[in-house]
Chain A
Amino acid sequence: MSTDSRTLARANSARQQGSWWTPRRVVSHVLLVLVTFLFLTPVLYALATALKPAGETFASPPSLVGSSVRWQNFADVFDYLPFQRFVVNGLLVAVVGTLVVLAASSLGAYAFARLRWRGRESLFLLFLGTLMVPQEVLVVPMFILMQEFGWVNSYQALVFPWAFTAFGTFLLRQFFRQIPYELQEAATLDGCSPLRTFRSVMLPIAKPALGVVAVFTFISYWNSFLWPLIIVNDVHDLGTVPLGLSLFFGQNSNQWHLVMAASVISLVPTLLLLIALQKHLVKGIAATGLAGR
């Protein structure tokens, strides 16, 4: 490879960066915005429906705007139900659950990735297997277990039973394996115990990966339906957001316009979390070594 071609390439890439708005780029961007818009049409449609009066959700032919625009629907959600209660419950469960998952899976992942002990691989396989059993069949035994603990209708039953699956452990294990051994060795030579190494060397580097696990875990707690339905006896008191949403479907009639409005409301916390963690999120997955550095 000659020096000339290198210079040429550098010049090339500089030219590319300099002229951001080439016609091709413009077309590509316009198309991208268009595709994004089309992609989000269903969400926009839901938003529009949230502003329609009752009894117009399914009007045919479909229209984006109802006979009137009712921002009032968002207020009505809270009149119809103590929906803020479900949001608070959901946040509490999802945040505590996420913390538990982060703690347990980061410790476990470290042991799986960086400590040497017998039975490590087979035990990890056992962890992975938990991802492959459908929850639908574990619900009844889990309910019986909760009765044993006296945990039926409690916050801890919403948090703990599904906090020990393999997803977080798997992801973090991949991450820890990518951290250069030299770092760990240096810490050990300095006289750090494994615990100290974990806390002051591994965890700080792992922050982005922890962010990924946090977002994915938070979402799965936030959206979980079947388990809360079964373990919560008093929905109006201990219900989470998906349970709250299903309360808009009555024995007689379904409050579709309120379901839509409540769903838009329920999007907000996850969306905020996502935006807040966006930077970490992307760095995080890249850092798990999945990107083939």
Chain B
Amino acid sequence: MRLRAAQRVSIGTAAALVALAGCGGSSSGEGAGGSKSSDGSVTLTWQMWASGADEEKQLKQLAALVHKKHPNIRIDLNTAPFKDYFTKLQTQAAGGEQPCLVSMQSLRLPGFAELMEPLDAHVKKAGTEGFEPAATEALQYEGKTYALPMDLAAMVVYYNKDAFAKAGVPEPKAGWKVADFEKAAKSLTGQGKKGFGLSFSDLHSLTMALTYNGARPVTKDGKPQLDDPRMVEAYDWYAGLATKAKSASVPASSSDGGWAETQFVNGNTAMAVDGTWNLGSHIGEAKFKVGVAPIPAGPDGSKTYVANSGFGMSKSCAYKDEAAKALAVLTGPEAQQSLAEQGRVFPARTDAQPAYEKFLTEQNGSDPESAETVELGMKAVMDGLAGGEPFVGTENWDQVNTLFSQYLLEAYTGSKSAKESLTTIQQKSAG
């Protein structure tokens, strides 16, 4: 009885608060995620991540492109730092405020799909043509398309050419096997350097598991199966690169998400698995010559996940027709060409890919050796994309990632077995 009274009061208060919360942003002329002015032109809010001023400028160019094509549409670009973009997006969603145009990563899509409008009804078939098929596929969830792709990335092995030469180890090339990888890692270890760096980031470590024995962390119907026997076997091997073979460096703490890449660029490890998105920055930043090779082949050949980002619209958007038009321009040939030329992304549109290669070649100087690196890099990328499969996580993938960083570290340092770690992760993420 008393509980019921408390319940009534509480629901009453909650209803009042929610009502108060619900009417945000609905003053005159404003619809959710944008606004309409008296002359009928519509301004759409576009939320995107950007780091330096250059990146913001590139996005502004895209926004201007939309206005040029559709003079009645303006884009109000909002940018946030990449690493905090999704925290911000979901806090805004909690307050019922969402931008019309939402930028989304394929990895995060399952967790955000319920906020987003399926595009199938809004974008005609022609709108999805011209993209690398894997790029559009990666942005689908449960059979529906939620975003049009901006870029496309696969995982590759970056390696330190100088270190390989010094150790007299043949450089990896297409067709190399997991055993070759292990051997190279071993020979390149010594004098304070390690052959390889372990990672607990999803794409970086799961790609190696996939190629090693086809282990998959998620069932076909989207349930976590992190303690699947194949997963255990694969992570046993992966952790063993550090604990048994002593040829891989281990992240120094659970907060070192980018350990493997950072150690590689700083010359402390000779190989790293990383995304093709870092082709430009790794070659540019490293003080040594960088080589690129496909992921080493396991029993079923070289396997990699592909992932990407794209633009979609929020369910609550009040101007869906305008948003669909804007999306078509933001991912259209001209926009893709512009992003590729500036080296911002490996473009999702096949037509724009040569422009990206040209950017890389110019960035790295025209001497034959650099040109060869770029060429081989692009080939590794293309191979990866051809054989890659889109990574689909669970709805609570962010949580799984956090658990990875906390518990896989224990397996990597050898204080727990891979089986124990994965079982804990499974329990906590399913519970």
Contacts and interface: CB of A to CB of B under 8 A. Distances in A.
A140 B266 contact: no
Given A61-B192, A140-B91, A144-B95, A55 B55 contact: no
B267 interface: yes
Interface string A245-286: 011111111110000000000000000000000000000000
Contacts of B77: 234
Contacts of A54: 285
B51 A251 contact: yes
B79 A55 contact: no
A176 to B, nearest CB: 37
Nearest to B81: A246
B263 interface: yes
Contacts of A61: 192
Interface stretch (A96-104, A112-120, A147-155): A147-155
A59 B268 contact: yes
B78 A234 contact: yes
Contacts of A39: none
Contacts of B28: none
A124 interface: no
B80 A229 contact: yes
Nearest to A66: B287
Contacts of A233: 45, 47, 78, 80
B88 interface: yes
Interface centre among A67, A236, A243 (most CB of B within 10 A): A236
A253 B52 CA distance: 11
Contacts of A246: 81, 83-84
B214 interface: no
Label chain A's interface by main secondary structure: loop
B176 interface: no
Given A56-B287, A147-B97, A236-B56, A229 B84 contact: yes
Interface residues of B, number: 49
B348 to A, nearest CB: 15
Interface in B20-78: 20-21, 23-25, 27, 45, 47, 49-56, 77-78
Nearest to B286: A55
A104 to B, nearest CB: 25
Contacts of A43: none
A235 B80 contact: yes
A248 B94 CA distance: 27
Contacts of B277: 251-252
A249 B50 CA distance: 9
B255 interface: no
Contacts of A144: 17, 20-21, 24, 94-96
B265 to A, nearest CB: 5
Contacts of A55: 265-266, 285-287
Given A61-B192, A147-B25, A250 B95 contact: no
Contacts of B21: 144, 147-148
A252 B83 CA distance: 10
A147 B95 contact: yes
B262 interface: yes
Interface of A: 53-61, 67, 79-82, 139-140, 143-144, 147-148, 150, 152-153, 229-230, 233-236, 243, 246-255
19 contacts: A56-B287, A59-B266, A59-B268, A60-B263, A60-B268, A67-B287, A140-B94, A144-B21, A147-B95, A148-B20, A148-B23, A229-B81, A229-B84, A230-B87, A235-B81, A246-B83, A247-B52, A252-B277, A253-B278
Interface of B: 17, 20-21, 23-25, 27, 45, 47, 49-56, 77-84, 87-88, 91-92, 94-97, 192, 258, 262-263, 265-268, 277-278, 280-282, 285-287
Sorted from nearest, which 4 A-B pairs have the closest CB atoms? A147-B24, A250-B51, A253-B281, A55-B285
